[in-house]
Amino acid sequence: MIDPISTLRPPPSGAAAGPDARLRAAAAALETQFLAEMLGHAGLGESAGAAPGGIGEEQFASLLREAQAKAIVAQGGIGLAERIVRSLAARAGMEG
């Protein structure tokens, strides 16, 4: 079972951003982009009707998908970022 990511939130102000925090932030960003892309392929934001909104609607739909993906990751995501962090930490000998 993959544990939800509760540690992806930014460190409290004044805390040093070490390699682990940077790794977690990068993994969360990757998961966010992955989810945004998958939401797009799933059809989220596509207009249904005879008169679609054109290029403007497409642009705003991508912004909506990205915001929704960020919200998903902030709530724990799908576990992709945690897997990335664990894998890279194990390779670097940073497990703990």
Q: How confident is the model at residue 62 (pLDDT cuts 50, 70, 90)?
A: confident
Q: Taking all residues of the chain, what is their mean pLDDT, rounded to a whole number?
A: 78
Q: How confident is the model at residue 17 (pLDDT cuts 50, 70, 90)?
A: low
Give DSSP secondary structure letters for 30-54.
HHHHHHHHHHHHTTTT---SSS--T
Tokens representing 26?
Answer: 């990068």
Q: What is this structure's pTM?
A: 0.67
- Residue 61 has a pLDDT of 86
Residue 48 DSSP class: -
Q: 41, 39, 20: which is closest to 77 by C-alpha?
A: 39
The domain locations on the chain are 19-44+53-92
Mean pLDDT of 9-16: 48
- Cβ neighbours around 54 below 10 Å, total: 9
Q: 54-63: long-range contacts at Cβ-Cβ below 8 A with a sequence spacing of 24 or more?
A: 62/36
